């Protein structure tokens, strides 16, 4: 598990009934406080308000949500529907819910035994995600060493992909952490990630705790950073990866992929196979969550920076096409070049061959 003074997510079972306790990510970095969820509506609200967030952790939270509903005698089918729809782009959430529901149903679908089965499945998913995180970190560092043999990496990341999104050390930021611990991280560039500043608030908080050399930049400054030759690779996570290799991630990821391609910089996605949705054919069929406009028009709750009545366009995610992705690192192997056949091979447990062009860049 990650080293936090307060765990990111934990199950508690006091005398008055079980509960799911979450580190409130809305309050970071200024305060480490917890949110207690004793029912599914409370958990759904925590998910939608981003008190808990990040694709892998949402899957874990979804599974624990089913365990919570079962243990407290709520309708599990209703709970599953509410949880799975709480954030539509993040496929891990529905995946975690489905796993816990299947375990609950297999144990009879009612009573203490079924509730225990759902909880056991949630705990299993929690452990598996931590193991997947370690494996992705190892494979990601190997990939960086292969692509950038000189070491001393200058890595750019977007949003937050560390221990705050995982049962372990995370996805893309877990790779950065491993590079740092190996003495190979020269600089971590942290996009602030507007409008909710998950980079400036959360990734910087994690980087500081790890003692990483990092700098925060405005999202709009990334282009000048590439132009100055200060970025060796981009590492991001994913909320859903379609069957053709299209990657949905925090809005602002796609422009980075375009910049990376123009400047011949590897653009690497790090995500567990549970994020791959082979039932979604491509970019056009990935549902994109639209967030409230006040996240853009207000610099803080109740503090507007736009004229009264201004409308806002606020998609939570954008989609990067497979041809702009150099590699996808999963716990089962590295997908490169990125296309449907290679992606399906990794999901089935068969690690695809890697292919590079003459200058060492991976073919996309």
> Which are the catalytic amino acids?
239
CA distances from 234 to 84, 117, 139, 153, 328 (A): 30, 40, 16, 10, 12
Cβ atoms of 283 and 319 within 8 Å: the answer is yes
User: What is the layout of strands, in order, in the sheet containing 34-37?
Assistant: 9-12, 19-23, 34-37
How many residues in the chain? Answer: 364
CB 214 within 8 A of CB 188: yes
CA atoms within 13 A on the CB side of 140: 37
Q: What is the DSSP string of 302-313?
A: TEE-S-TT----
Cis? peptide before 47, omega within 30° of 0: no
Side-chain half-sphere CA neighbours of 282 within 13 A: 8
**53-63 burial by CB neighbour count: b if 16+ within 10 A, else e?**
bbbbbbbbbbb
Rg of the chain over all Cα atoms, to the nearest angstrom: 20
Backbone phi, psi, residue 178, to 5°: -65, -40
Q: Which of 180, 203, 208, 206 is nearest to 190 (CA)?
A: 203
In whole angstroms, give the CA distance from residue 296 to residue 305: 9
Cα dihedral 89/33/214/146 (nearest 10)? -50
Bridge partners, 327 (sequence order): 268
**Distances, alpha carbon 298 to alpha carbons 76, 242, 295, 302, 312, in Å:** 37, 33, 6, 7, 10
User: In whole angstroms, what is the distance from residue 23 CA to residue 29 CA?
Assistant: 11
Closest CA to 248 of 126, 88, 140, 17: 88
């Amino acid at each position: 598990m990650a080293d936090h003074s307060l765990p990111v997510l934990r199950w508690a079972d006091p005398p008055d009934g079980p509960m799911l306790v979450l580190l409130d990510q809305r309050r970071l970095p200024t305060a480490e406080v917890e949110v207690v969820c004793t029912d599914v509506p409370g958990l759904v609200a925590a998910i939608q308000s981003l008190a808990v967030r990040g694709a892998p952790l949402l899957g874990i939270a979804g599974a624990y949500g089913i365990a919570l509903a079962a243990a407290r005698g709520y309708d599990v089918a209703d709970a599953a529907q509410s949880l799975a729809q709480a954030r539509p782009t993040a496929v891990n959430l529905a995946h975690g819910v489905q796993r816990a529901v299947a375990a609950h149903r297999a144990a009879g679908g009612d009573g203490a035994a079924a509730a225990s089965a759902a909880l056991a499945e949630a705990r299993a998913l929690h452990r598996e995600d931590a193991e997947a995180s370690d494996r992705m970190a190892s494979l990601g560092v190997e990939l960086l060493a292969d692509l950038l043999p000189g070491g001393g990496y200058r890595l750019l990341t977007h949003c937050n992909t560390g221990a705050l999104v995982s049962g372990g050390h995370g996805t893309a930021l877990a790779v950065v952490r491993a590079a740092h611990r190996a003495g190979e991280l020269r600089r971590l560039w942290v996009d602030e990630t507007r409008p909710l500043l998950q980079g400036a608030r959360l990734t910087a908080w994690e980087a500081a705790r790890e003692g990483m050399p990092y700098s925060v930049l405005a999202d709009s400054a990334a282009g000048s950073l590439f132009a100055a030759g200060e970025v060796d690779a981009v590492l991001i996570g994913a909320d859903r990866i379609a069957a053709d290799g299209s990657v949905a991630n925090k809005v602002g990821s796609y422009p980075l992929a375009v910049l990376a391609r123009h400047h011949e910089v590897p653009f690497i996605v790090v995500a567990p196979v549970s994020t791959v949705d082979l039932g979604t054919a491509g970019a056009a069929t990935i549902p994109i969550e639209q967030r409230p406009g006040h996240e853009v028009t207000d610099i803080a709750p109740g503090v507007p920076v736009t004229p009264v009545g201004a409308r806002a366009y606020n998609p939570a995610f954008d989609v990067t096409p497979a041809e702009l992705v150099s590699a996808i690192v999963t716990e089962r192997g590295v997908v490169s070049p990125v296309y449907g056949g290679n992606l399906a091979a990794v999901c089935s447990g068969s690690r695809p061959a890697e292919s590079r062009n003459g200058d060492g860049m991976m073919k996309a």
